Amino acid sequence: MWINVRHFAACASFAAMQALGAPSIINVKHFGAKGDCRHVMDGAITRNSFQLNSASAIFTKADVGKAIYILDAGANIYQGKEVRYGNLPLDTSITQVVDLHTVLVRNAALNSVAGVSTTWGTDDSGAIQNAINLAGASGGGTIFFPAGMFRVTDHFPGGFGMGFKLNASNLRLTGMGNRSKIFNSSVYSFMTSGTAYYHETGVTVFYAGSSTPIANVEIDHLWFGDNGQHFNFIVTAAKGTVTNPEGPGVIGTLGIVNDLRLHDLTIVTSDLCGISTNAQESSGVVIDHVNVQSNGGNHGLYLGGQKTALTVSNSIITSKTTPMRIGVVVKRGSHIQIWNNRISNVAQQGIGIDANSEQQLVRDVSIVGNFITNDPDGPLPLNLLPPGAAKSINTHGIQVNNGTHIDIRNNTITGMNYSGIYIGGDLWPISDVTIEHNLISTTRTGIVITAQLLPGSLAKASSDLLRDVSITNNTVTDSLVGLYEYQAGGNNAVAGNCIQGAERDCRMSFDLKEMNAAKLTFSNNTAADCAGFHVPEEPLGTGKNHLQTERVRCPVPPRIH
């Protein structure tokens, strides 16, 4: 079913829409949606003035009467002794078009601003929601967005809100690729008891989900964006302590959504996650050919639910200026495939695998063929740091904090300030890990395998936390340390790896420490242009070790693009 929301402008009620019948394809314009939104980033207005200027805007007489939303030009929300926390947007309307780049607005600005986000056009939230409701009540259907920018606003206040929601099975939202844009112009700015601060954080375009499970939802060939300008943070009571919330997504799920397919999408954000899934069990989630363009904001993909059969493939996740938090983070689930993605400019991890408890470990994970790159001398993610904090964050290409049956192969990783691949358990164990045929360059340490022991009653034997790791046929170049492994247990193999110093001083090629609880095989590894290596010479545990090192020059690795 296709529904064009613009064609239902005259319907006075949902019952009247149902009486018209539901065609197989619903075009949102049939419901009154206009798709006439415009958005610029160079709005300027002076305090007490009604005149807005924008060099990049093209205003026409048709814009008279349309709503216009000018960030920071409204009332001041909080004024501290040392820091001004920002202003509310000016939410008004256009009364006159002076010329192509100048309009008069109904309400005077309360603050002078320049170079700010400015949005004008019809609010299409209600029309889009009506189209979705009709399709859902009819058992499902396809909602089509023709070319245009469809403005939505927060129509579900409370929490972080959203523009519209999908709460029925068998729904598809589709359009004409980047020509069909859906943009949430709303932002939040508030201070709560002087402790929690959000300034111009974006609002979700839509969430899929309901109080009961839904299934068979497809979103494709659309562009989504939010109006957020700054990454969220929370200042806690402890001086200088900042906790970064995971945050909502530009699009995402609330509740159980099975057989969810997100593909051929572009998502643009400055402070939200590109896609955020709810922490409830879902299955059959596919994210393919999705382009997330962040601007120093939250995670690219935050996959928080306990998913089975989750695939993230062929996607581009990058940040334009300062790094985003994490490219792809999976909190829990099983049968997870992260394949052939390009991830760049991250603050903490390119790909992060984590879990919330021992009963929710990540299982059967395949991370294959990804290209993860950072500029090691690029801008620091200062939006993640409290004032006066040390200006450094450990960045890993791939980090696994817990799980079992983890397969990491054929990835290219370059420019991380800490490690290319980091495997480290704390409360919850890691076991059966394969790291093979990866190419890692320009990091502090190429590969790190370590148990993160916690003090007191939380502590576990390190060999119980980290077991059965195979590290074979990897190439590490231009890094301070090639491979570091510490206190692993079970069967461990380090074989056929190549460590080469090259342009950067290599202090240690292989550094294997306190492996006496492991059965260790170390063979056919090569190292060149490194100052030294540390490998156990005596048999460890109950297993016989096979130690063979050859101090020969590694072959030149493939070029990293």
In a domain, 304, yes or no: yes
In a domain, 469, yes or no: no
Record the pTM.
0.87
| Mean confidence (pLDDT) of the chain | 81
Count CA within 13 A, CB hemisphere, residue 509: 25
Partners of residue 421 on adjacent β-strands = 398, 447
371-373/342-344 β-pairing: parallel
In a domain, 427, yes or no: no
In order, the DSSP letters of 252-271 are EESS-EEEEEEEEEEEE-SS
Token pair of 537 as six digits: 């010479």
Task: Kindly report, residue by residue over 459-506, the tens digit of the pLDDT.
Answer: 455 556 788 999 999 999 888 889 988 878 888 899 889 888 755 567
Task: Kindly report, residue by residue over 294-349, the tens digit of the pLDDT.
Answer: 987 789 999 987 678 899 999 999 988 778 889 999 988 889 999 999 999 998 89
84: pLDDT confidence band, cut at 50, 70 and 90?
very low
328 and 241 share one domain? yes
286 and 161 share one domain? yes
159: pLDDT confidence band, cut at 50, 70 and 90?
low
Percent of the chain with pLDDT over 70: 75
Residue-wise burial string across 39-66, b where 16 or more C-beta atoms lie within 10 A, e elsewhere: bbeebbbbeeebebbbeebebeeebeeb
- The domain boundary, picked from 300, 318, 345, lies at 345
> What would the mean pLDDT of 281-291 be, rounded to a whole number?
92
In the prediction, which pLDDT does 321 show?
Answer: 77
Helices (H), 86-230: 125-137
112 and 182 share one domain? no
Task: Give me the number of domains the chain comprises.
Answer: 2
110 and 251 share one domain? no
Residue-wise burial string across 521-554, b where 16 or more C-beta atoms lie within 10 A, e elsewhere: bbeebbbbbbeebebbeeebbeeebebeeeeeeb
Residue type, 435: I
Q: Which residue did the predictor score with more confidence, 421 or 4?
A: 421
In the prediction, which pLDDT does 455 show?
Answer: 45
In the prediction, which pLDDT does 342 show?
Answer: 97
206 and 96 share one domain? no
Contacts of 470 (CB under 8 A, 6+ apart): 433, 434, 435, 436, 492, 493
243: pLDDT confidence band, cut at 50, 70 and 90?
very low
In a domain, 18, yes or no: no
Contacts of 77 (CB under 8 A, 6+ apart): 85, 86, 87, 88, 189, 190, 191, 199
172 and 214 share one domain? yes
- The domain boundary, picked from 285, 311, 345, lies at 345
Q: Give the CATH number of the domain where residue 69 resides.
A: 2.40.10
Q: Which residue did the predictor score with more confidence, 403 or 91?
A: 91
- The domain boundary, picked from 318, 345, 372, lies at 345
168 and 259 share one domain? yes
338 and 228 share one domain? yes
112 and 158 share one domain? no
In a domain, 500, yes or no: no
In the prediction, which pLDDT does 157 show?
Answer: 61
State the residue range of the domain holding 60. 38-120
Separation of first and last alpha carbons in the chain: 44
Percent of the chain with pLDDT over 90: 48
pLDDT higher than 70, residue 272: yes
In a domain, 520, yes or no: no
> What would the mean pLDDT of 53-62 be, rounded to a whole number?
96
181 and 303 share one domain? yes
Task: Kindly report, residue by residue over 543-561, the tens digit of the pLDDT.
Answer: 333 333 444 455 554 444 4
In a domain, 370, yes or no: no
> What would the mean pLDDT of 362-372 be, rounded to a whole number?
94
Q: Which residue did the predictor score with more confidence, 391 or 530?
A: 530
Token pair 């970064």 is found at 244
Contacts of 481 (CB under 8 A, 6+ apart): 444, 445, 446, 506, 507, 508, 509, 511
Task: Kindly report, residue by residue over 173-228, the tens digit of the pLDDT.
Answer: 999 999 999 999 998 765 554 444 556 778 899 999 888 899 999 999 999 999 98
306 and 252 share one domain? yes
Q: Contact, 490 vs 431, CB < 8 A?
A: yes
pLDDT higher than 50, residue 542: no
115 and 173 share one domain? no
In the prediction, which pLDDT does 117 show?
Answer: 94
In a domain, 179, yes or no: yes
Most confidently modeled range among 155-159, 273-277, 511-515, 554-558: 273-277
